[in-house]
Structure 1
Amino acid sequence: MISRTKRIARSMVVAAAATVTVTMAMPAGNAFAIDHVECRGGENFLKIWSHLDGRSSVDCYANKGRIGFGSWWVDRISTGNNDLVYYDVNGDSVRVNRWTDITFPSRPPKVRDIEIL
């Protein structure tokens, strides 16, 4: 007969092995936490100038992830230290590399979502 101490120890080892197996089998998910942040001079945030229905806006974003942009017309993008993909209302996606400042004076895109890579 197995002693009580050995049974407890064996149960703990089996539980630990099961935990490790489940942890290894689960896919590692990426935590996407894009944030709308306050625009501040000297920061390398993604910065987007846009307009819609007579209103204009300047918005800044930080951290990896994807967020809805409300189908606003984009006049200018400064990517800072972020690689960006924007998705327009026509279903196209456009990648803009970090350290890029681009303006759209005559035909601005109407952007549905933005994603920091």
Structure 2
Amino acid sequence: MISKTKRVARSVGVAFAAAAALTMAVPTGNAFAIDHVECRGGENFLKIWSHSGGNQSVDCYANAGRTDFGGWWIDKISTGNNDLIYYDANGDSVKIERWHEITFPNRPPKVTAIEIL
């Protein structure tokens, strides 16, 4: 007859092995959690000046991920410490490296989504 201690030990061992197997079998991915944050001086957030339908906006973003930008026209981008890809309405994607500031005075792109890498 198997003692109660041995049965408990075997159950714990089986549970541990199952958890380890599941951990190895499930692929890990990047957590995408781009955040719209308050623009503050001295911060190195992605900062975008844009306009659409007579409205103007200045927005800041932090953390890696992708988010919809609603087809707004971008007037200026300051990447801060973020590498950025913006996706325009023509289906093109443009990568801008960190620590760059770009203005679009004559032909601003109409952007459908942005992604911080």
> TM bucket by the smaller chain?
over 0.9
Give the Cα–Cα distance (whole angstroms) in 2 for the partners of residues 37 and 4 of structure 1.
56
When the two chains are superposed, the root-mean-square deviation of aligned CA atoms in Å is 0.8
Q: CA deviation at 1:7?
A: 1.5
SS at match of 1:81: coil
Q: Taking structure 2 as the reference length, what is the TM-score of the superposition?
A: 0.96
SS at match of 2:40: coil
Provide, for residues 12-65 of structure 1, a one-character-per-residue CA deviation record: whole Å limited to 9, x for no partner. Answer: 101101101101111112211111111111110000000111111110001111
1:13 is matched with 13
Paired residues, what number? 117
Give the Cα–Cα distance (whole angstroms) in 2 for the partners of residues 37 and 65 of structure 1.
14
Q: What does 1:25-104 correspond to in 2, within 5 Å? A: 25-104=25-104
Runs of 4+ aligned structure 1 residues displaced above 6 Å come to none
Q: CA deviation at 1:2?
A: 2.0
Q: CA deviation at 1:4?
A: 2.1
What 5-or-longer segments of structure 2 have no aligned partner?
A: none
Equivalent pairs: percent with the same residue? Answer: 74
What 5-or-longer segments of structure 1 have no aligned partner?
A: none
Provide, for residues 52-99 of structure 1, a one-character-per-residue CA deviation record: whole Å limited to 9, x for no partner. Answer: 111111100011111100100001000000000000111111000000
